[in-house]
Amino acid sequence: MRLGLLSDVHGNRIALEAVLDDMPPVDGLVCAGDVVGYNPWPAECVSAVRDRSIPTVQGNHDRAVAAGSAPGFNAMARAGVDYARGALDGDALAWLDELPERRTVAEGRVAVVHGHPEDPDHYTRSREFAGGLIDSAADRLGVDEDDLDALVLGHTHVQHHGVFPEGVVVNPGSVGQPRDGDSRAAYAVLDVDERTVDERRVEYDTEAVAAAVAEAGLPERIGSRLAEGR
C-alpha cells in the first residue's frame, strides 16, 4: 500500500495544485494538518481536501481558525487566521473544528498526528525521531503498537523521516510554506508494506503567491519568505 503524505498546506492553493499534479500513483492520500492559515486560499484548500475525502488531523492553525482565537501566535500568523476565518463559510469552519487530533489510516496501520502523539502543538524536530513515537501514538490511540507500521506528523515544516524497528516516522514537510531552506513544495510517498519513504519536492510559482498575498492585504513577509524556503 502506497500513501501520498501531505501536511501544512496553509492556504497555498498554487503549491497544493503543484503537489497533486506531481503525485505519483498511490492508493490514498493523508494530511497531517494545517490546511489553512497564512496564505490567501483557505476555502479552496479546504475544498480540495474535502472533495478528495483525504483523512486529515487538526493542526494548530486549523484549530485557531475554527475557534476564532490564536493564543501565542505572532502577528503574521494571527493575520492569516483572521483572514481564513473571514473567508470560510460555516460548513468549512465546522469541518475544521471537527477534525481529530490523532487518527489511524490504512486499515489501522498508520497513525497520523500534527505535532506529537502526546501534544499536537509540540514541534517534533528530526533529532527527536525515534521508534518510541510510534509506541506513544499506539498508546494514545488505544491500539496495539505491533499493528502500526508508521507515524505521520507535520508542524515543523521540515521534511524528514527515520526507519526504526518499531516502524517509520515521517514528516512529509510543508506543501504551502517549507522552512528547510528549499522553496519547493514538499510531500512524501510512504510504502506501508515496505516501510520506505520517498521524500519529494516540486517547483511552484512562489511569485504568484506573493502577489496574491499582497493583493489580499496580508503581511508581505508571508509571501516573500516563500522564495527563501523560510
DSSP codes of every residue in 170-197: EE---SS---SS--SEEEEEEETTTTEE
- Model confidence over 110-165: pLDDT tens digits? 999 999 999 999 999 999 999 999 999 999 999 999 999 999 999 999 999 999 99
Residue 109: what pLDDT? 98
Residue with cell 499534479: 21
The domain that holds 195 is classified in CATH as 3.60.21.10
Q: What is the mean pLDDT of residues 19-40?
A: 98
Q: For 87-121, what is the HEC assignment?
A: HCCHHHHHHHHHCCCEEEECCCCEEEECCCCCCCC
Q: Which residue has the cell 479546504?
A: 46
Q: pLDDT tens digits, residue range 187-213?
A: 999 999 999 999 999 999 999 999 999
Look up residue 220 and give its amino acid. Answer: E
| b/e 95-119 (16+ beta carbons within 10 angstroms → b) | bbeebebbbbbbeebbbbbbbbbee
The larger pLDDT score, comparing residue 72 to residue 217, is at: 217
Query: What is residue 23's predicted lDDT score, i.e. its pLDDT?
Result: 98
pTM listed for this prediction: 0.97
Residue 97 is predicted with a pLDDT of 98
Give residue 196's pLDDT.
98
Overall number of domains in the chain:
1
Instruction: For residue 137, give every residue at least 6 positions away whose Cβ sits within 8 Å of its Cβ, in sequence order, or none.
Output: 102, 111, 113, 117, 148, 151
pLDDT mean across residues, the chain: 97
Question: In this structure, how many other beta carbons lie within 10 angstroms of the beta carbon of residue 89?
Answer: 10
Closest residue by Cα to residue 42 from 64, 14, 12, 66: 12
- pLDDT band (50, 70, 90) for residue 218: very high
Domain that holds residue 29: 2-228
Closest by Cα among 136, 60, 148, 146 to 111: 148
User: Which pLDDT score is estimated for 42?
Assistant: 98
pLDDT, tens only, 41-96: 999 999 999 999 999 999 999 999 999 988 889 999 999 999 999 999 999 999 99
**pLDDT value for 171:** 98
Quick one: how far is CA 45 from the chain centroid?
A: 12
